[in-house]
Amino acid sequence: MSYVLDFIPLSIAILSVSDTRSEDNDISGNLLAKNIQDSGHLFYEKKVVKDDKYFIRSAVSQWIASVDVNIIITTGGTGVTGRDGTPEAVAPLLDKTLDGFGEIFRILSYQSIKTSAIQSRAIAGVANGTYIFCLPGSSDACITAWDNLIKEQLDNRTRPCNLVKLIPRLLER
């Protein structure tokens, strides 16, 4: 006897990190918001902050502390320039890292941008029971990450396993 699991919608917040983007021209953040809603998840909130580790950390920390947010996706600030600080802002907040996310993201990126993929410092992890994914700012990178990694792992029907079924256990001690 087989049965079909019902989809479990998660509450997802988006943080766009940029010194040049605003709500009006935030292509990657808006694209992620649309993909979240199209996939059946709940779009919680979107913010745009300057590429400054304290602004980034403040916004992410507020969502980590909220019981209403299951997932945080950041876009931008993962490159290698002096202003790129998303990994440095977020990493100290993580209780656990998902090293495979960055590794697989760079493998997927290599298929389209070749050796430029080494410039990405995309990371993911868990903080206070909230999954966090830090993506590059390009819309192509956001599509790659969402379509090929994040969307499936945030679907409780994905087999053999997914991140959703672990949510109730993330705060175990």
Query: For residue range 151-166, what is the model confidence (pLDDT) as tens digits?
Result: 999 999 999 999 999 9
- Mean residue pLDDT of the chain comes to 97
All structural domains of the chain = 11-156 (3.40.980.10)
Which residues on adjacent β-strands are paired with residue 127?
A: 130
Q: Which two tokens stand for residue 89?
A: 């802002």
Could you tell me if 56 and 90 are in contact, meaning their C-beta atoms sit under 8 angstroms apart?
yes
Could you tell me if 85 and 16 are in contact, meaning their C-beta atoms sit under 8 angstroms apart?
no
Predicted TM-score (pTM) of the model is 0.97
What stretch of H or E contains 72? strand 71-75
Residue 172 reports pLDDT greater than 70: yes
Could you tell me if 7 and 156 are in contact, meaning their C-beta atoms sit under 8 angstroms apart?
yes
Residues 6+ apart with CB under 8 A from 6: none
Nearest alpha-carbon partner for 143 in 75, 42, 45: 75
* Separation of alpha carbons 66 and 14, rounded Å: 14
Region 2-12 average pLDDT: 91
pLDDT score recorded for residue 3: 75
* Separation of alpha carbons 87 and 121, rounded Å: 7
